[in-house]
């Protein structure tokens, strides 16, 4: 399943196809709660996971114990979501993405109790990328295709395709196509980043819609 960029791109046909797949076969553990009817074949929702009704999940995904998925969330096919992860409104996840245990996503720059923003920031995980355990992804970030986010990283800026990033704040440390042994030089400030969190924050404050 191709990751939709926005709600318009998610045609009613695609929605209907997803819904049809539900009836054919996905698995929900007796202790799991799956309120969505848009879950693809072969997907497994394990114990104490909770999927809200508006979520759309592709085929052959693995939703591990203690995962919470909100309504405005779309997952592609073969996505792994390890335990202790919450996927909040505004998140788009491409196919073959790995989300490590206790990774944290955010969708509101200045959260205040009982004050909902007019819209939540859009976070995108492009096809094939991996998010390490306990990484934190700030709102409005895009993680590029096949990129790797190291364990415990705090990602404050969008990550280009194939980059390995880690640290707080996360910086580019390598190229996932070249593997462990090869390092690329970290770019100078401002070199790499198609979208950065501070831009999104500024734009939201100015009343723009989330990216």
Ligand X SMILES: CC(C)(COP(=O)(O)OP(=O)(O)OC[C@H]1O[C@@H](n2cnc3c(N)ncnc32)[C@H](O)[C@@H]1OP(=O)(O)O)[C@@H](O)C(=O)NCCC(=O)NCCS
* Phi–psi pair at 89, nearest 5 degrees: -50, 135
Rounded CA separation 52/39 (Å): 11
Cα distances (Å, whole numbers) of residue 89 to 32, 54, 92, 152, 167: 20, 10, 9, 22, 26
Single residue of 100, 144, 160, 211 touching ligand X by CB under 6 A:
100
Q: Which of 72, 66, 40 is nearest to 53 (CA)?
A: 72
Single residue of 164, 193, 197, 204 touching ligand X by CB under 6 A:
164
> Does 148 interact with ligand X (rule: CB under 6 A)?
yes
> Does 166 interact with ligand X (rule: CB under 6 A)?
yes
Please state the closest distance from residue 185 (CB atom) to ligand X, in A: 14
Quote the Cα angle for 207-56-166, to 5°: 65
Closer to ligand X by CB, 66 or 122: give it. 66
- Are the beta carbons of 86 and 67 closer than 8 angstroms? yes
- Are the beta carbons of 101 and 80 closer than 8 angstroms? no
Closer to ligand X by CB, 117 or 152: give it. 152
> Does 180 interact with ligand X (rule: CB under 6 A)?
yes
Please state the closest distance from residue 187 (CB atom) to ligand X, in A: 17
Q: Which of 146, 119, 134 is nearest to 200 (CA)?
A: 119
Closer to ligand X by CB, 134 or 199: give it. 134
Which residue has its beta carbon closest to ligand X? 150
> Does 128 interact with ligand X (rule: CB under 6 A)?
no
Closer to ligand X by CB, 98 or 120: give it. 98
| Interface residue list for ligand X (CB under 6 A) | 100, 132-133, 148, 150-153, 164, 166-167, 174, 180
């Amino acid at each position: 399943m191709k990751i939709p960029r926005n709600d318009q791109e998610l045609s009613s046909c695609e929605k209907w196809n997803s819904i049809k797949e539900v009836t054919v076969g996905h698995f929900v553990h007796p202790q799991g709660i799956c309120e969505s009817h848009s879950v693809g074949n072969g997907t497994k929702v394990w114990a104490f996971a909770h999927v809200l009704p508006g979520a759309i999940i592709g085929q052959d995904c693995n939703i591990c114990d203690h995962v919470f998925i909100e309504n405005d969330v779309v997952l592609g096919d073969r996505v792994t979501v390890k335990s202790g992860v919450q996927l909040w409104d505004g998140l788009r996840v491409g196919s073959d993405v790995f989300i490590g245990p206790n990774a944290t996503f955010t969708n509101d720059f200045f959260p205040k109790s009982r004050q909902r923003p007019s819209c939540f920031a859009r976070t995108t995980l492009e096809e094939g990328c991996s998010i390490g355990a306990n990484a934190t992804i700030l709102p409005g970030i895009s993680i590029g295709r096949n990129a790797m986010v190291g364990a415990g990283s705090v990602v404050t800026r969008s990550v280009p395709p194939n980059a390995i990033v880690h640290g707080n704040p996360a910086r580019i440390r390598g190229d996932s196509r070249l593997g462990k042994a090869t390092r690329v030089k970290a770019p100078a400030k401002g070199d790499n980043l198609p979208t950065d969190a501070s831009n999104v924050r500024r734009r939201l404050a100015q009343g723009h819609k989330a990216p």
